[in-house]
Structure 1
Amino acid sequence: MDLPVRKKLPHQIPPWVEEGSFFFTTICCREKGRNQLCHDDAGQKVLSTVAYYHEHLKWHCVLFVLMPDHAHGILSFPREPGVAATIKAWKSYQKRFHGIEWQEGFFDHRLRDRFSLEEKLAYVLQNPVRKGLCARPEDWPYVYRPADRPVWLKNW
């Protein structure tokens, strides 16, 4: 008996979506439960490439949080090369230079309004607390928040 084949999610930005729209992304390591990302050596290297991508306009990052076996980002992407190509290149760099083993693909969800954006920001910041990794979101060291985020996001 043939098992059903999972459909792949389309990651391209549709033409009707406004340039600069934010996406909630989840990128998982290949081995669930193994800490590949949240130790000093790997964590700071990974976050430095998040900052590099932001500073070189490969994506616009509002928030990026590393968990031991996955990462969450609130990001916007230029239409070209787009979401999939940008994430693929970033993951490829992490594997090649830092030895991070990733699952194939990733999850993304377009945030359609400010309420959705604020809801996901809260979710991402609380993730380490919910998992018992720290007592308060501000105690978690594996976070990238650029200084140039919009004024209305400064509290995040």
Structure 2
Amino acid sequence: MPQYRRAKGSIFFFTVVLADRSSTLLVDHVDRLRQNYRTIQQRRPFETVAVCVLPDHLHAIWALPEDDLDFSSRWNLIKGGFSRGLETGPRTTSKLRKREKGIWQRRFWEHAIRNDADLERHVDYIHFNPVKHGLVSRVRDWSFSSFHRYVDQGTLPVDWGGDMRDTPGQFGE
């Protein structure tokens, strides 16, 4: 089992989802998402322990500074900055009133990481998610993931997760 480096501060796992689950907006505009993410990370520091961007949602683990646990504002800024300037269809009165474009689901899932085993499970979940969703058969084939950083650092082997083409049966949701 790999030994993941535990970050300092409070650590949270997130799932952030587009309103349209059939959309590929996040990978279609991944450079826009990355740039906005970096900008907010510089303005409101946090460490990205692991991340994976999929077509319609993303998963991330953040380590927040001990004196600043406001992850909601950070996600609000990331989601808003990404959405600004993107064309969307007609919006409901509710979305207009709340100044929403309708790109993102209003809420997101967060989970406080409890211990090292919980961290390891969530990092593995994030990295294996493109395989789980049938986007690739090997973890290393999905480029929008921190998995490649883990390989470069020697934390995970490049063949981690195996090749689903070598595994009989079907898995997933």
Map 1:57-136; keep pairs closer than 5 Å. Answer: 58-78=45-65, 79-80=67-68, 82-98=70-86, 101-136=103-138
Look up the equivalent residue of 1:37 and give its one-letter code. L
CA pair 98-69 structure 1, distance change in 2 beyond 3 A: same
Give, in angstroms, the shift of residue 34 of structure 1: 1.5
State which structure, 1 or 2, has the greater radius of gyration over its C-alpha atoms. 2
Secondary structure, counterpart of 1:22 in structure 2 = strand
Question: 8 Å contact 1:44–1:142 — kept in the other structure?
Answer: no
Look up the equivalent residue of 2:112 and give its one-letter code. R
Secondary structure, counterpart of 2:20 in structure 1 = coil
Q: Displaced runs of 4+ in structure 1, greater than 4 A?
A: 97-100, 144-147
Look up the equivalent residue of 1:80 and give its one-letter code. D
* 2:14 counterpart residue number: 25
* 2:30 counterpart residue number: 43
Look up the equivalent residue of 2:64 and give its one-letter code. F
Look up the equivalent residue of 1:121 and give its one-letter code. V
- Alpha carbon RMSD of aligned pairs, Å? 2.6
Following the alignment from structure 1 to structure 2, what is the Cα–Cα distance between the partners of residues 104 and 154? 37
Question: 8 Å contact 1:47–1:143 — kept in the other structure?
Answer: no
Secondary structure, counterpart of 2:13 in structure 1 = strand
Paired residues, number: 132
Following the alignment from structure 2 to structure 1, what is the Cα–Cα distance between the partners of residues 42 and 145? 16
Look up the equivalent residue of 1:89 and give its one-letter code. L
Unaligned runs of 5+ in 1: 1-18
Following the alignment from structure 1 to structure 2, what is the Cα–Cα distance between the partners of residues 36 and 132? 17
Give, in angstroms, the shift of residue 81 of structure 1: 6.5
Unaligned runs of 5+ in 2: 1-7, 88-100, 157-173
Q: Relative contact order: is structure 1 or structure 2 higher (C-alpha 8 Å, sep ≥ 6)? A: 1
Look up the equivalent residue of 2:145 and give its one-letter code. V
Give, in angstroms, the shift of residue 45 of structure 1: 2.0
Following the alignment from structure 1 to structure 2, what is the Cα–Cα distance between the partners of residues 142 and 38? 8
Q: Identity of paired residues, percent?
A: 23
* 1:141 counterpart residue number: 143
CA pair 47-119 structure 1, distance change in 2 beyond 3 A: same
